Amino acid sequence: MVQLRVRLKIEMRLICMRKFDSHSIPIRLNLLFSIVILLFMAIIGRLLYMQVLNKDFYETKLASASKTKVTTSSARGEIYDASGKPLVENTVKQVVSFTRNNKMTAADLKETAKKLLAYVGVSSPTLTDRQLADYYLADQDVYKKAVESLPREKRLDSDGNQLSESELYNNTVESIDPSQLAYSDDEKKEIYLFSQLNAVGNFATGTIVTDALTDTQIALIASASKNLPGISISTSWDRKVLETSLSSIVGSVSSEKAGLPAEEAAAYIKKGYSLNDRVGTSYLEKQYEETLQGKRSVKEIHLDKHGNMESVENIEDGTKGNNIKLTIDLSFQDSVDNLLKSYFNSELGNGGAKYSEGVYAVALNPKTGAVLSMSGLKHDLKTGELTPDSLGTVTNVFVPGSVVKAATISSGWENGVLSGNQTLTDQPIVFQGSSPINSWYTQAYGSFPITAVEALEYSSNTYMVQTALGIMGQTYQPNMFVLTNNLESAMGKLRATFAEYGLGASTGIDLPDESTGFIPKEYNFANYITNAFGQFDNYTPMQLAQYVGTIANNGVRIAPHIVEGIYGNNEQGGLGDLIQSIDTKEMNKINISESDVSILQQGFYQVSHGGSALTTGRAFSNGAAVSISGKTGTAESYVNGGQKANNTNAVAYAPSDNPQIAVAVVFPHNTNLTNGVGPSIARDIINLYNQHHPMN
């Protein structure tokens, strides 16, 4: 009975379950169908969105995915002197170029190199071990065997997974012993071509270096293009710097092989350059890179649905870059160069220049900043050889001597130490525990009062020392003890004024990598005092020219510039019409009054025209074609283990009442102490300029 009841209960449960299941099946099916319908509706909605509402957008995106653009640089613009004489030239040539298909394998490149060698010449190729290994591994079977022979740690990582393809390849290359690869001379030529083909990126175009192509070779390569995938004939150029006195400032251009400099590649690419573009790497070529760089040609590579290169379409032709014309006339530049050589050879003849590094001179227009000449003669102390060195005027630094005394007086005015044409006593300066500091004439003439104008005319050291002491907040008393607690502040004030004139600061010249002088961070009180009369900090000839130009230009400092303007190309590809003139750039105004500037100008005038027995620069006026104002400078130094020598320097401008030229001359380490050649050179440069461009 009990068993019967149990059985009945089980059967009832089964019946209920059957009833429940029979009801749940339609519900599940309906839910499933609903989900499927919703998915189909979503897909249809997406298709409607893509194919109807945003049809244009997706068609454009599809088209862009099936094509890519390749740019190629064109010939650079050229550089001319002020008269239109070329300083560089482009030599146009026909070359082999290669556009790489993204589907090309190493084996394909190997085959192309072999075929190409039948059409071109390759003389004495130089190959690296890596190039030999790459060529050897271009055969897939060889590469596979080489990989299999690698030790486990060179194939797999610590977890037993295969290394990345790049790591695996590099390890395989390292395992190859190039000395075991015995290639023939013809095979080495093929390897040379293969390496260049392999260096070209997907869809990029590169120039393949071969021997110069003959007309026959050009024709044969053009006709065999179907059998040489990616190979074509294109126009390239070589950059040649002509032998002139300005060669050193022209600069250089990267090679076809080097392309963009690695350290600047990212910045150039942001500007739209390609990795294989040739760019200026120094001086004018670098400074005016974007002007000289030609307009790139643009080709569009079309791909099929499988991503294979289908066709190449020329979208935009390239054009030669714009040209630049300099402010410097080669004829005047060469005249100055010859003048410097004549003076230097004369000093060599009397033994004075034996230990001199050379002689340098800069001439510029003080009102516009146009550089008129930047001449340098470098003397090799070991060989005695003399070579042109115009670049040295912006890269070499020298002790200036007394030429900077106007800046010291200017600092006195700025810092409230001096007032106008103030009178101070020119006297021996004796600090407690130190030797006397004298002007060159003090011992002969004793102590006497002088003005700021006379301090410049006579080139007083002691006037400058008292001014420097005043900047430190102290007044000179014989045998005084000097407090140096504010030495750093005082030197900062003095140097700040000097920088207003361009001394120890960037001149703003349109050349990269100019020196801003040698301004030591470590110094003592003696260094500070001697700096006040030009015997510590070092400056370039260009800085000294800007300094005197600032005085000539009524206290307005103008940035020097070598380029007069940017020009297009004429029909023959030469110098065309003016596109843009280089504007005059004002750097700053000296922080002194107009009357104070006129005191400096009066002092410079008296240096060359004064009638006193103490007047220091009458050499400026002797034989001058126009009125010259200037300042001499003699910086004492030693050579050859203690022999006395002078830097015989000079700065000048002319005509005094309407300055059109400012000149700086530096003649270092001249042991002929009786001959201050600096002023004479400056005078003769001004006379030369007057011959070319009369200033009266």
Query: What tokens appear for 223 in the block?
Result: 């006709």
Q: What are the angstrom distances between the C-alpha of 690 and each of 121, 150, 197, 544, 655?
A: 56, 78, 58, 21, 10
Q: What H or E segment, with its residue span, contains residue 373?
A: strand 371-379
Query: What tokens appear for 14 in the block?
Result: 């089964």
Query: What tokens appear for 514 in the block?
Result: 């100019």
Asked whether 506 and 514 are in contact (CB, 8 A), the reply is yes
Asked if 66 is an active-site residue, the reply is no
DSSP symbols for 80-110: E-TTS-BSEEEEEEEEEEEE--TT--HHHHH
3-state secondary structure of 20: helix
d(CA 78, CA 346): 38
Query: What tokens appear for 285 in the block?
Result: 């070529």
Q: Of 575, 609, 683, 640, which is closest to residue 83 (Cα–Cα)? A: 575
Output the CA torsion sign for 549, 553, 555, 558: negative
Q: How large is the greatest C-alpha to C-alpha distance in the chain, in angstroms?
A: 154
Q: What are the angstrom distances between the C-alpha of 125 and each of 39, 94, 271?
A: 65, 20, 35
3-state secondary structure of 202: coil
From the CA atom positions of the chain, what is the Rg in Å?
A: 39
β-strands 424-426, 448-450 pairing: antiparallel
d(CA 189, CA 127): 9
Q: At what angle are helices 405-414 and 487-500 packed, to 10 degrees?
A: 110
Asked whether 673 and 687 are in contact (CB, 8 A), the reply is no
554-590: burial string, b at 16+ Cβ within 10 Å, e else: bbbbbbbbbbbebbebeeeeebeeeeeebeeeebbeb
d(CA 617, CA 606): 8
User: Of these residues, 73, 195, 375, 402, which one is catalytic?
Assistant: 402
d(CA 21, CA 40): 29
Asked whether 102 and 116 are in contact (CB, 8 A), the reply is no
Asked whether 529 and 491 are in contact (CB, 8 A), the reply is no
Distance of CA 443 to the CA centre of its chain: 50
Asked whether 670 and 645 are in contact (CB, 8 A), the reply is yes
Check residue 73 and report its DSSP letter.
-
Q: Which residues are catalytic?
A: 402
